[in-house]
A and B are shown apart, each in its own frame.
Chain A
């Protein structure tokens, strides 16, 4: 009897543990993939932002490489990563609001604004640090516009 209970308890514990793991990172490969793209954006923005803030010395080549990467990232076809049922109601590990799936034309327009801002940064990054600083604002605006409308706040 005791042994049976232990097995049951162990089973229950592992279910709880898996539940806790899910709360941190999605098991859904599509969600993982789109989160990874966001991390790649953040990494390359970090290179540019460090120069904009004066934390790192301006380096035209490194800035251009980072800006090129941003442009490439905006060109990835993400349609397979945003399948129905991967919103924050169905999957608590994501902050993607169901509104995304109700407003695809607007989401696409905001995506295009991001692509345009990345192209503008590509042109600015190699010029000088002032041009780079100027292009950061539009990039940030494009990120925020989508996050404000379609991302749930942090708990």
Chain B
């Protein structure tokens, strides 16, 4: 009997340790950043393609104000309200003191400099696919933006989601680095895939989520309920979006739809970013969307 108890206790301890080990915040191997040089022009493109300002600029910032990444925008979700932090170049209130390694850990693993898990409202599930060159260049570009001393506010998240360790489990379940659209792609489609799947985080809104907020990657970009109210975020798969590649590229530049209505809602802010990209990059996104597989109606009605 005593032996059985001992066995159970040791097993429980091992399972607990394994759990702690598996849910620990991960960090990148410093070697991937070794010898990678930064390029400010590249960093600026990454900044716009990744849409940093859409969440991290102050609420209601317009034009140039969007380059001041003071944070403060509120995102209401089923798990609580997330408040975008200050990521300006201020060394105390912002992330001005971060090394490229610390930025890489945040983007690739959702791990903060104190070794804490970030909530996936920050789309590191997408940024996990970023190249070392882009991370190093983004780090340099962020350093050129204004410093602002606004204190970041704590997220308003209720138990059990307030236990950050639990996010380690969430990451195990739902972080799936690597590409969704595979196969024989052209260079243009591969660039588009990088812009959509590694930087643009289009899927965060355009792909349905499960009950725990994980993306249903098997029905990628098929459209989803609008988290901010009525209506539906449209699907972008090749069978749902029947715009030509030129139509898609023009929409991402000027916001004009093929019948010359203009973009509305959240897409206006997205287009403020995509309008800063090159024509080639916008056409690459369009080329990629044309190879995103469509879905049968049975899958969609699940």
Kindly state whether residue B230 has any CB partner on chain A within 8 Å: yes
- Known A-B contacts A45-B256, A141-B255; the reply to A153 vs B268 at CB < 8 A is no
Kindly state whether residue A111 has any CB partner on chain B within 8 Å: no
- Known A-B contacts A42-B259, A141-B255; the reply to A151 vs B264 at CB < 8 A is yes
- Known A-B contacts A140-B254, A154-B231, A155-B230; the reply to A49 vs B260 at CB < 8 A is yes
Q: Whole-angstrom distance from the CB of A56 to the nearest CB of chain B?
A: 11
- Known A-B contacts A137-B253, A155-B231; the reply to A148 vs B261 at CB < 8 A is no
- Known A-B contacts A137-B275, A153-B230; the reply to A148 vs B256 at CB < 8 A is no
Kindly state whether residue B133 has any CB partner on chain A within 8 Å: no
Total count of chain B residues near the partner, CB < 8 A: 24
- Known A-B contacts A55-B246, A136-B254, A137-B275; the reply to A144 vs B264 at CB < 8 A is yes
Q: Is the CB of B262 within 8 A of A140?
A: yes
Q: What A residues does B256 contact at CB under 8 A?
A: 45, 49, 136, 140, 143
Kindly state whether residue A52 has any CB partner on chain B within 8 Å: yes
As a 0/1 sequence over residues 230 to 248 of chain B, the CB contacts with chain A under 8 angstroms (1 = contact) are: 1100000000000010110
Within 8 A of A (CB), among B251-276: 253-256, 259-265, 268, 271-272, 275
Q: Is the CB of B262 within 8 A of A136?
A: no
**Contact-size category for A:** 20 to 34
Q: What A residues does B275 contact at CB under 8 A?
A: 137, 140-141
With A53-B244, A55-B244, A155-B231 already in contact, 13 other A-B pairs whose C-beta atoms are closer than 8 Å: A42-B259, A54-B246, A137-B275, A139-B254, A140-B255, A143-B255, A143-B256, A144-B264, A148-B265, A153-B229, A154-B231, A154-B264, A155-B230
Sort A-B residue pairs by CB-CB distance and give the 8 closest, nearest first: A140-B254, A143-B262, A42-B260, A53-B246, A140-B255, A148-B268, A45-B260, A144-B255
